[in-house]
Each structure stands twice: as C-alpha cells, then as structure tokens.
Structure 1
Amino acid sequence: MIDLLYIYIFVLAAFVGYEVISRVPVILHTPLMSGSNFVHGVVLVGSMWALAHASTPFQLVLGFLAVLLGAANAAGGYVVTERMLGMFAAKSDAKPAAKEA
C-alpha cells in the first residue's frame, strides 16, 4: 500500500513539474538553469556523503555512480549556462573565432 502511495506522489510530482517548466518564459530560462545548477551541487554533496558512509560493496558502487553522475550533471549544467549567457553577450564582447589552418 505504501509503495502505491510513493508511486502516486512520484507521478503527481512529475506531472506538476512538467506543467510548471513548460510554462516558463524563454527570458527566465537562464536564471532558472543557474538555480538548478545549485541544486545539482547539493545533490553532489549528498552523494559524496553517502559514498563516505557506504559499508557494503553494493553501496560503494551506487555511491560512486551517484558521485560520477552528479558531477557530470553539475558540470554539464554550468557549461550549458555559460553557452546560453554567451548568446546574450554584446557583439563587441564576443570572442573572435579562431582561424583554422
């Protein structure tokens, strides 16, 4: 019975999350990405804490994967945010393209 409750909460959260994100104006996307990068950093710290307190091999593998995927997610979010901010830079601030040999 409790498992069904967790599934219900997950489906409800997914639906509400989709509805909220789909209505975000384009102009707010970059600040929201920066905020979500903060959340990814918190997830990374939590996964490192879980890995530090792991005791079985299964927990160690899961903790390692959590740290690896959390770090990739946070780094990728910062790269995407940087590229998006570059799109809004003034033309005079843009770096010239490197000439290929």
Structure 2
Amino acid sequence: MTQQLYTNLAIFILSLLVGFEVMSKIPATLQTPMMSGANAIHGVVVVGAFVVAAEANNVGFYVLAFVCAFFAAINVAGGYTVTDRMLGMFDRPKNDTHKKDDGGEQ
C-alpha cells in the first residue's frame, strides 16, 4: 500500500469520527436545518460521481461512478422528502371555514 492510500484512509477515518461526534451533539430542534445542509453536501457527492465518470477509463470505473451517482441521488431525494415531512409537522391544522358550528348541539 502506498503512502497516498494511507493518507486517504486516515482522512476518511478521521472524518467518520468527527462526523459521528458532531451528529451526536446536535439537539432535536436543529435536525431539520441540519438535514437541509446535508442534502446540499450530497449534491456535491453527485457532482463528484460525475467527475469520476468523466475520468473513467475502464468499465469498472464507469460502474463505480454510476453506483455512486445513483446512491447519492437517492440520498438527496430521500433527504428532501424527510425534511418536507418534518417541516409538515410544524404546519398549523387547516380550519374548515365552510363548516357550520352549531354550538355543540346534536
């Protein structure tokens, strides 16, 4: 294994540890804004998959780029879906203004 590979593995492992610590310290009230930021980061992952595809020179790299782009796109779409559902929980209930209130009489 080369020195470059060791360096890349060290950076990857350190980013996993830092990410875990940061995510575990975020209170529940900040989860929705954090999810929106994570969606933007996953958009960058999609662009990175396109860069890998542009520099691919054999079938293995093309397959890897496709898989990366596919999973990143699913993650982006799922993140926005979850964020939308979470924000929907904060909507006020819609009052039916056409409903006649009879004062509780039956």
Both structures adopt the same fold (TM-score exceeding 0.5): yes
From the superposition, tell whether residues 43 and 8 of structure 1 become closer, same or farther in structure 2 (CA, over 3 Å): closer
1:97 paired residue number: none
When normalised by structure 1's length, the TM-score is 0.78
Where does residue 74 of structure 1 map in the other structure?
Answer: 76
* SS of residue paired to 2:91: coil
Whole-angstrom distance in 2 between the partners of 1:67 and 1:41: 10
Change (3 A) 1:46 1:11: closer
Aligned-pair CA distance for 1:10: 3.3
* CA deviation profile, 1:52-99 (whole Å, cap 9, x unmatched): 332211111111111111111111111111111111111128xxxxxx
Q: Say if 1:59 and 1:4 are closer, same or farther in 2 by CA, change over 3 A.
A: closer
Residue in 1 aligned with 2:56?
54
Gaps of 5+ in 1: 94-101
Aligned to 1:35: 37
Give me the TM-score of the superposition, normalised by structure 2. Answer: 0.75
Q: CA separation in 1, counterparts of 2:83 and 2:43?
A: 14
- What percentage of residue pairs aligned between the two structures are identical? 44
Larger Rg belongs to? 2
Q: Which amino acid aligns with 1:83?
A: R
The two structures, once aligned, show a CA RMSD in angstroms of 2.0
Which residue does 1:88 correspond to in 2? 90
Number of aligned residue pairs: 93
- Give the C-alpha shift of residue 23 in structure 1: 1.1
